[in-house]
Amino acid sequence: MNGLERAGAHGLLYHPWHHWSGKALRTRLWPDRWITTDIPAMEPRRLRVGQPITPEQFEELTDEQLARLVPRAYREYFPGKDFCADGHFYLHDGTAWSFYRGGFLDE
C-alpha cells in the first residue's frame, strides 16, 4: 500500500514520516523539521430511544438513563436495571425488550 493507510474517522493518512501520539499527528517535513496537527477529542455518542447499547454501556448507565432508551409506550414496564436479565425485561404481554438489540427480542 506504499506506506499509506487510512486513519479512522479523522480521514488522515498514515505515512512512514508520520508519528501518531493519540491526540496529535506529527508529520516530518525534513529530517529535522516536524509539523504537529492536533486532533479534536471525540464526543461520546448521544444515546437515543431504540438505539442498541453494549453490555458495558448497560452496566455504566443509571436506571433513569436506561429508561430513556425505552419507547415511551413501554417505559412504565421497565422494572429497573437490577431486574433485567441479560439486558432485557418483559412487558405485560410477555414480549421482551432488549437494550442490546434496541428493540424486541422477537423481531
Burial class (CB in 10 A: 0-12, 13-18, 19+), 14: middle
pTM (2 d.p.) = 0.57
pLDDT at 85: 85
Domain boundaries, the chain: 5-38, 55-104
List per-block mean pLDDT (blocks of 10 residues) for the chain, which spans 107 residues: 43 50 62 67 76 91 92 92 91 92 87
pLDDT at 45: 72
pLDDT at 24: 61
pLDDT at 80: 92
Instruction: Name 37's bridge partners.
Output: 25
